[in-house]
Amino acid sequence: MSKSKNNGVDPQALIDKYGADTARFYTMFASPPTNTLEWSDESVEGSYRFLRRVWDFSYKFSRAKCAASMERKLRFEIHSELRKANDDIERQKFNTVASACMKILNALEALPEWDETSREGLSILIRLLSPIAPHITHHLWRELGYGEDVMQALWPEADAAALEQDEIELVVQVNGKLRGSIRVPKAAGRSEIEELARANPNVQRFVAGQDVKKVVVVPGRLVNLVV
């Protein structure tokens, strides 16, 4: 949208139909601050649906009984998105912050059972979303019992413990060309890594019975089988 091109859109019409939070979320999500915003009615609808999903998830959560457990994989996903979002805030890349909110909600919705990870994740989501959609997040923060004012709450920071993984992903190459990836225990030794790489179906297809002359393992990065 550009005033000089006479193709601007009055935000009041959007606010009247969807509310101020949808208008704010759409303008943040659709384009970086340095770019011209290209209007899309479909994307506006998508922004509205996302905020409705946040509301619906919060409503269901408020009536759920939560297990005392914590889901390690989900915590890693949530805190990874939070870490990236906080880095993007520093660079004023607010569109990717909005995207991180959507990814966190997707992760929360995929959890088959409510537990303390759900409570923590929803708390993070609401705080991360609060500068973009202050009205809905203020209401949800209070209704869910997190506090009186989300704007006065501590800003969420990624938990280093949540970002620790039991497994890591390694790229697998055959003769220096990418042929797949494997997940291995973080403490795996060279022989275990080599065995898992050789067992990868895609690697077996490219090795195709040839003798493996050499296996190069770069810790934390890749495995290269030379045939």
Residues 65-91 have pLDDT tens digits of 888 888 888 999 999 999 999 999 998
Distance CA 165, CA 16 (A): 46
Distance in angstroms between the alpha carbons of the first and the last residue of the chain: 56
Domain boundaries, given as residue ranges, for the chain:
11-152, 167-226
In degrees and rounded to multiples of 5, residue 174 shows phi and psi of -125, 120
Position 31 scores a pLDDT of: 66
167-226 topology per CATH: Ubiquitin-like (UB roll) (3.10.20)
What does the CA dihedral 186, 188, 193, 199 come to, rounded to 10 degrees?
-90
Mean pLDDT for the chain overall: 88
Q: Does domain 11-152 have CATH number 1.10.260.40?
A: no
Position 16 scores a pLDDT of: 83
Model confidence, pTM: 0.73
Angle at 119 between CA 161 and CA 115, to 5 degrees: 85
Position 6 scores a pLDDT of: 47
Position 18 scores a pLDDT of: 85
Position 107 scores a pLDDT of: 95
